[in-house]
Chains A and B, each alone.
Chain A
């Protein structure tokens, strides 16, 4: 027991982060992304939606990342974009995590015809070409934020169903479940208070990875014109509108939003990976 309390102390955690650079990188990037998604529009030097200067200006001390073909400040847009990209992906990940975990718990705890039907449905959903299905869902429900969140949630729920169900199936045969049942707990209570908390780890790790993929999907959808509408500050859209200018030598308006996507997605993947290894070795 003494060992465990040392492990959980703040000093040890500091040392842990120092030794695990991947975890450190993940934590820094993820916190920055979350910070910008709340405060990004406050610290942006210019309004991300109104032209602020001459068009297509190279980066300068006035416009750190230059201006794009409509005269919008690229830096301001890059740091306000998390309000769309990150918030959208985080909410979709949380929602699909919530639904997926509950469905997974239900189908794992009560095996039967209904639960195998649910599993077959999630099999079929997982065999779909994800990107095309996302395009279909967003284009046909109307391109707005709520529908994007709905589409991503729909696409990512089966992953959480599968992860939770697998874990529940092994957990419910453990002795502590039997003990809980012997002491007179109701089945509901056993499922929610005992089995669920012990089956959450894989899903919690998956959350981070899912946020990363959600950002990729959001940016990709906007890139082909099936995501948010211009001139919303969104990374994929920024890349799409600046892509034709690349051939004219205007690299800054597509380079910086791309780096933002690349780093953010890497951050969430790194955090997920580091957590996975930490849990695996513990």
Chain B
């Protein structure tokens, strides 16, 4: 598909890019600014969509709060206290922050059910989810990429065939059910995993909160016992997510590696007598972009998709927070979680695209 000239001149392109570092830098900077601007618009768009969609659906959060048999007086009082008696535009202004505190100042409002600040609710639950998802990705990539590389070396081999089946299988599986089965097997039968009841043993005192990431906090405060206890509680959820995630990553690694291995520039490097190591390195580097892109998409998906795993293991993360928000019709909390998850996904996409620029000089040249 690609023009031959381009493939043969990767080294040349690299040289050009190297010579034009200054141009490259300003280009990258303007690209980042543009992306941040677009991301800002997207987040604003999503905020608006969520705001209007949940208000246009036939649900009655007031009745949910005061009960369906309440007197009209009580009902109207509750409605007024939630601010729902005002016009939708006033409500929107209040949410965005025209009166001085709102989304633009980082204030996501107050939960209708608990009365506590949504910002602090998200701030305490988000690190738990991020920690789980990030570690699962580290484990999944550490397992999946080497396997994918190995299968790409011998396409059609026995390993390749069985790994292909696994990749297809694990790509779409009910992770909550696998989590339950793993708990049954590893905790109930073998006893080599803790009961799925949170981040720490019930009697363990949590380390002082600094970052909110329990693994980091326990190290910062010198609580080695809490660190290992948290790891002990995390290994099964991490393995469950990694089991699901590694499927698509293996598939993509294999595909991408195989394509690069059969490309002309690898043939050219071989013909030029480069060492196996050098060839392997440039192959892996050239096959990284699609793998990273997929990882980014999976990451965005997993921030919301970890909901079920958090629920099974009673980890009180953002997923569990959003379930409570949705089932209680707690509109400020729903808006807050969706907004935060979207922003994080957008940031991840941006970081990945920047990494791609540095891996693949052709992207910068465009």
User: Which residues of A are interface residues toward B (Cβ below 8 A)?
Assistant: 22, 120, 123-124, 127-133, 135-137, 139-142, 209, 212-213, 216, 219-220, 223-226, 236, 239, 243, 246-247, 249, 251, 254-255, 257-258, 261-262, 265-266, 269-270, 273
Separation of A130 and B312 alpha carbons in the complex (Å): 19
Contact pick for B174, options A120, A224, A261, CB 8 Å: A261
B297 to chain A: closest residue by CB? A126
Known contacts A124-B49, A128-B338, A139 near B177 by CB under 8 Å: no
Indicate if the CB atoms of B327 and A141 lie closer than 8 Å. no
Q: How far in angstroms is the closest Cβ of chain A from B33?
A: 20
Indicate if the CB atoms of A130 and B181 lie closer than 8 Å. no
Query: Which A residues lie within 8 Å of B31 (CB)?
Result: none
Indicate if the CB atoms of A140 and B59 lie closer than 8 Å. yes
Query: Which B residues lie within 8 Å of A269 (CB)?
Result: 168-169, 171-172
Interface stretch (choices B14-22, B92-100, B265-273, B341-349): B341-349
Query: Which B residues lie within 8 Å of A266 (CB)?
Result: 168-169, 172-173
Contact pick for B342, options A127, A220, A255, CB 8 Å: A127
Indicate if the CB atoms of B311 and A216 lie closer than 8 Å. no
A269 to chain B: closest residue by CB? B172
Indicate if the CB atoms of B176 and A226 lie closer than 8 Å. no
Contact pick for A254, options B45, B177, B326, CB 8 Å: B177
* Number of A-B pairs, beta carbon distance below 8 Å: 133
Task: Tell me whether chain A's interface is mostly helix, strand or loop, or mixed.
Answer: helix
Interface stretch (choices B104-112, B222-230, B299-307): B299-307
Q: List 7 A-B contacts (CB under 8 A).
A: A22-B168, A129-B300, A132-B322, A135-B326, A212-B172, A258-B177, A269-B168
Indicate if the CB atoms of A140 and B173 lie closer than 8 Å. no
B42 adjacent to chain A (CB < 8 Å): yes
Instruction: Give the contacts of B335-366 with A (CB-CB under 8 A).
Output: 337-338, 341-342, 345-346
Q: How far in angstroms is the closest Cβ of chain B from A249?
A: 7
Known contacts A131-B307, A226-B326, A243-B180, A142 near B58 by CB under 8 Å: yes
Instruction: Give the contacts of B128-174 with A (CB-CB under 8 A).
Output: 165, 168-169, 171-174
B196 to chain A: closest residue by CB? A247
A212 to chain B: closest residue by CB? B172
Indicate if the CB atoms of A132 and B181 lie closer than 8 Å. no
Contact pick for B338, options A133, A223, A246, CB 8 Å: A133
Known contacts A127-B342, A219-B174, A243-B312, A258 near B181 by CB under 8 Å: yes
Flag B314-333 by CB within 8 Å of A: 1 or 0 each. Answer: 00000000110011010000
Instruction: Give the contacts of B170-216 with A (CB-CB under 8 A).
Output: 171-174, 176-178, 180-181, 183-184, 188, 195
Indicate if the CB atoms of A270 and B46 lie closer than 8 Å. no
B308 adjacent to chain A (CB < 8 Å): yes
| Interface pairs A-B: 6 shortest CB-CB | A129-B304, A258-B177, A140-B57, A140-B59, A135-B326, A132-B304
